[in-house]
Amino acid sequence: MIQIIYISNGRTEMSESVDILKEISVSDALWLDLFSPTGDEKRAVETFLDTTLQSRAQAEEIESSSRYSEDASSVFINTSFLIPGPENYNMESVSFILTEKTVTSIRQVPLRSFTDIQRRAMSNFKSYPTGFHILIGILENRIDLDADMIELMSKEIAQYSKRVSLGEDVNEEFLLDINQLQENTMLVRENIVDKQRMISSLLKSDKTPKSVVNKLNIILKDVSSLINHTNFSFERLEYLQNTVLGIINLDQNKIMKVFTFVSLLLMPPTLIASIYGMNVKLPLIGGNWDIAVVGSVMLISIITALLIFRRRKML
């Protein structure tokens, strides 16, 4: 699927057919958005732009040289967009090709940021006169969504912290939930750092119009603040994880303390029972009160051990 936004008679138009590329010039095209494009659509765009579109494998490269590059007339950018799910977050690669007035995007999944900017570009052409302005609009929209995700994660972390403070039962499932939050936080941070690297590269490029430099600087400051927030959230999760592990260890120590105390209390009467179980002549044996006497000695030994433990504050 392809959506082409171009200028015609002083206003923006949209077409979903590559045939329109034969009727317009590169200077008229504002945005070529390829969503899961077919081979014919990719070849038509390559012919129109006189360049080669990057494949999905190239878009997913992690080397800096593969994430951002330039040639004599174009800027090539590969970045990632975070897709939130019910539990896990996924990173989806998106490629951009920037010329003087045209931006070309290649993606495999629907993205809310693209839909919003398409609608705005169609209704307000003056706000998006070039492909650079459209790319910045996408970035601004995406940073706002990332900020919302970070805010939701912070609220979720606060809920887990409150559960711990209220003394709710913490178990293996609770720890796994915290671990999943840590994974999501790292993915969000990775996604934001990728945007920071991309914006920094654009600011250093001679091809970036001076009219968008101020906006890029503002976005870069917003990104830096989001990175600081994700760092704080990750540290908070580590503290929460350590607290939960400490609580679990304390509970286990209490259980072991009870078992140890019971074992120690039963050691003296067990010794007495073992002695009087011997097949030899022993004192206090031979009367009608043998069981009562031995039982009393065993009870006295338990009480004596209990008093010693309490006196030494071992209970």
The structural domains of the chain, with segments of one domain joined by +, span 2-248, 252-311
Give whole-number Cα distances, 106 to 62, 159, 202, 292, 306, in Å. Answer: 17, 38, 19, 91, 76
For residue 82, the number of C-alpha atoms closer than 13 Å in the C-beta half-sphere is 27
Distance CA(36)–CA(136), nearest Å, equals: 22
Which of 190, 212, 64, 233 has the alpha carbon at shortest distance from 138? 212
Residue 58, number of CB atoms within 10 A of its CB: 14
- Domain 2-248 belongs in CATH node 3.90.1300.10: no
Give whole-number Cα distances, 94 to 56, 133, 135, 212, 261, in Å. Answer: 9, 17, 12, 21, 63
- The average confidence (pLDDT) of the chain is 79
**Is the Cβ–Cβ distance between 302 and 273 less than 8 Å?**
no
**Is the Cβ–Cβ distance between 219 and 133 less than 8 Å?**
no
Q: How confident is the model at residue 281, as a pLDDT?
A: 62
Q: How confident is the model at residue 63, as a pLDDT?
A: 57
Q: How confident is the model at residue 258, as a pLDDT?
A: 76
Helix (H, G, I), strand (E, B) or coil at 13: strand
The values of phi and psi at residue 58, to 5°, are -65, -35
- Whose tokens are 């887990």? That residue is 160
Q: What architecture (CATH level 2) is domain 252-311?
A: Up-down Bundle (1.20)
Distance CA(10)–CA(7), nearest Å, equals: 6
Q: Which residues pair with 33 in a beta bridge?
A: 3, 105
Both structure tokens of 16:
């979903």
- pLDDT tens-digit series, residues 251-277: 777 778 777 777 777 777 777 777 666
Q: How confident is the model at residue 174, as a pLDDT?
A: 78
Distance CA(179)–CA(184), nearest Å, equals: 9
Range scoring the smallest mean pLDDT among 81-90, 172-181, 248-257, 283-292: 283-292
Helix (H, G, I), strand (E, B) or coil at 62: coil
The values of phi and psi at residue 77, to 5°, are -130, 130
Please determine, for residue 217, whether its predicted confidence score (pLDDT) is greater than 80: yes
Q: How confident is the model at residue 87, as a pLDDT?
A: 66
Residues whose CB is less than 8 angstroms from the CB of residue 172 and which lie 6 or more positions away in sequence, other chains included: none
Give the amino acid at 97.
I
Distance CA(8)–CA(125), nearest Å, equals: 11
- pLDDT tens-digit series, residues 57-109: 665 565 555 678 877 778 888 888 888 776 677 788 888 888 878 888 888 88
Q: Bigger pLDDT: 215 or 73?
A: 215
